[in-house]
């Protein structure tokens, strides 16, 4: 019975890790692409790249108050993504735009996420039952 409990604990941990990854992906979806920043600031794509705090030699340069600072990247080929608060700060402080409105819509929960949550709930119930018998 202990092997079953250990296996169940491993599966529960794996599903929790998937759930954490889904939350991280959702956070990434709340970031703004260059195109979204371009629309909000009403500037050209080239202007957004000129404003961005990037360096060819440094993947994630230190914060620069006078530039538009992208989120940290793991690889140089990843697209630039910007947090909405950073875009608003840059628009107000640097571009001197008086009022900035940025709307972020939450992505819809997919069927996969719903199924994973249901499986996790069932596994937790099974684990509790196994632990109660010991």
In tens, the pLDDT along 23-76 reads 445 455 688 999 999 988 989 999 999 999 998 889 999 999 999 999 999 998
69 & 130 share domain: no
94 & 41 share domain: yes
Strand partners, 96: none
- Rounded to two decimals, the pTM is 0.57
Residue 85 to residues 46, 91, 100, 126, Cα–Cα distance (Å): 21, 10, 10, 43
φ, ψ of residue 59 in degrees (nearest 5)? -65, -50
4 & 47 share domain: no
87 & 99 share domain: yes
pLDDT > 90 in the chain, percent: 46
Computed from CA positions of residues 9, 15, 21, 26, in that sequence, does the dihedral angle turn out positive or negative? negative
- Centroid of chain to Cα 106: 11
56 & 83 share domain: yes
Q: What is the pLDDT at residue 133? A: 87
CB contact burial 37-67 (16+ within 10 A = b; e otherwise): bbebbeeeeeebeebbbbeeeeeeeeeeeee
Q: Is 69 exposed, middle or buried (0-12, 13-18, 19+ CB in 10 A)?
A: buried
Q: What is the pLDDT of residues 104-128, one digit of tens each?
A: 666 677 888 888 889 999 999 999 9
Q: What is the pLDDT at residue 22? A: 47
């Amino acid at each position: 019975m202990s092997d079953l409990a250990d296996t169940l604990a491993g599966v529960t941990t794996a599903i929790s890790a998937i759930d954490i990854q889904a939350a991280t992906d959702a956070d990434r979806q709340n970031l703004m692409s260059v195109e979204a920043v371009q629309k909000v600031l009403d500037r050209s794509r080239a202007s957004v790249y000129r404003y961005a705090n990037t360096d060819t030699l440094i993947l994630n340069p230190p914060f620069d108050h006078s530039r538009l600072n992208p989120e940290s990247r793991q690889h140089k080929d990843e697209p630039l993504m910007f947090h909405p608060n950073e875009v608003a700060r840059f628009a107000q402080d640097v571009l001197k735009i008086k009022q900035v409105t940025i709307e972020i819509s939450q992505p819809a929960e997919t069927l996969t996420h719903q199924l994973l949550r249901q499986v996790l709930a069932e596994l937790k119930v099974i684990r509790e039952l196994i632990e109660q018998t010991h």
